[in-house]
Amino acid sequence: MIELERRRVPTVILVSKSFEEDAIASAAAFDMPDLPFVVLPVPLSNRTREQIVEMCDPVIDKIAEMLISQSISPAARLTEIAPDWLEYTGSDQMAALDAFQEDFLQRGWGDGFPLVLPTKERVEAMLKGTRHPRDEVVCRLEPGNAMATVEKIAVNCVMAGCKPEYLPVVLAAVEAMMDPLFLLRIVACSTGMHAPCTIVNGPYGRKIGINSGRAALGPGAQSRANLAIGRAVRLVLMNVGHAYVGSLDLDTIGSPRKISMCYGENEDQNPWEPLHVRQGFKREESTVTMFGVTSEVECLDFANTTGEGVLNTFAGTAIPSGTDGVYATFHQSVISFGHIMLLVTTDHAEVLARSGFDPQSIRRYMFENARREYKWLGSNQGGTISELEECWKETARNPEAMVPVVRTAEHFHMVVVGGSAGKSQVHLGAGTPITRSIDKWM
């Protein structure tokens, strides 16, 4: 709508009541806070044509009036402008710390867990984790389109409990998320439970203690670096990117994975080239790969001793019908949408390698075998055959036809991670996994 307005085409947005705050924040994020909109009582999704007409009829005259008169909605800022430094007092140090925690949470700057106080001394110490100047702009960070400087990212790293040596990983993660194929606006502010996941490769991850083995996704002392880095990425999205719940982040139910999601690849027990090498980096380089995860499913297989058997278990795990990735397969032309990451434990990796499988052949096998009848996938997403892409229309006329859950074999990815047990995971995702160098930020 804003792009149309910039081309001098008048617009009015229909916004359901529960999205009103988001509409104001989104308009402000794109530098047009006066963008006009009318409010409907509930979202239009899952409504019949008759229900939609009933809701929209009463506002037609108002829409016409706004288009003619250019009536505007109240201007708004993305967030309250706070002083550069805040001071907290209390009867003792703990009382002052409690006041800080409560104030930051009420302002929306926290994730609900206790924060580390970002004092001037701690921020200065964090900045020693990189040689880059504090005012260097890493990117203009979506969804709020704010300038993500090294210092702003460092402040959030302090709050998340990071050590200074974790800062380069977070800087690389923020840089990676701004690649258009990552689809950050969907990951950050969709109504879905998308979570940014940070995957660390290379010697630097081992140096700072990134856990790639047992319980790599936490909790515990062995995953301290993982948890702090994943949390810092989330806080940066909130406090720099303005992805605040209810404002730009409209997650319907939510997920605890949105607080922190980070792990390392178990390269020592990986029988193939690690993820970052397959992404075009040298083995001795250190990288982060960012992937927007919508959900994870455990893939239990203690019995199979052949690669085909293990992959059949993976294929059966990767075919849930109610995912936006499946919807994208049939209804959208966005090739970067609907990717899947296989988290292969060392036991399963050993079986696969012994059977002659490598990452590319695993991709092909998954694409050919992770299939289900169209009636359980495409038709469950609603719409009519006329709305489908041309290549699926004939298939849709046969509800029993077997169809894939992703567009191409390249939509499957894999890492080796975890301890020794036949319990891998399938992570369903949004955009393309994007890899960036940590070394440049060290």
Confidence at 191, pLDDT banded by 50, 70, 90: confident
Q: Is residue 394 part of a domain?
A: no
Same domain, 430 and 313: yes
Using CB atoms within 10 Å of the CB of residue 219, give its burial: 0 to 12 exposed, 13 to 18 middle, 19+ buried. Answer: exposed
d(CA 299, CA 426): 7
234 and 358 share one domain = yes
Q: Which amino acid is at 355?
A: S
How far is Cα 261 from Cα 301, in angstroms, rounded to an integer?
Answer: 24
What is the pLDDT confidence band of residue 397, given thresholds at 50, 70 and 90?
confident
Are 118 and 48 found together in one domain? Answer: no
Is 218 found in the same domain as 116? no
Last residue of a domain, one of 172, 197, 228: 172
Could you give the number of structural domains in the chain? 3
| 317 and 288 co-located in one domain | yes
Model confidence at 424, pLDDT cuts 50, 70, 90, reads very high
CA distance 40 to 380: 26
Q: What is the pLDDT of residues 51-74, one digit of tens each?
A: 989 988 999 998 898 888 764 443
Q: What count of Cα atoms within 13 Å lies in the side-chain half-sphere of residue 290?
A: 31
Q: What is the residue-wise DSSP string for 102-145?
A: HHHHHHT-S-SSPPPP--HHHHHHHHTT-SS-TT-EEEEETTTT
**One domain for residues 156 and 198:** no
Range of the domain at 157: 93-172
**How do residues 87-122 score in pLDDT, each as one tens digit?**
999 999 999 999 999 999 999 899 999 999 999 999
Mark whether 192 and 294 lie in a shared domain: yes
Residue 277 lies in a domain: yes
- What whole-number distance in Å separates Cα of residue 170 and Cα of residue 100? 24
Looking at the structure, tell me whether residues 150 and 178 fall in a common domain.
Answer: no
> Residue 397: how many CB atoms within 10 A of its CB?
10
| Model pTM score | 0.86
Is 231:259 a contact under the CB 8 Å cutoff? yes
pLDDT value, residue 310: 97
Look at residue 172 and give its three-state secondary structure: helix
Domain boundary among 33, 53, 69: 69
Assess if residue 85 is contained within a domain. no
Q: pLDDT (tens digit, 9 = 90+) per residue, 316-355?
A: 999 877 776 666 666 655 566 789 999 999 999 999 999 9
Same domain as 153, residue 17: no
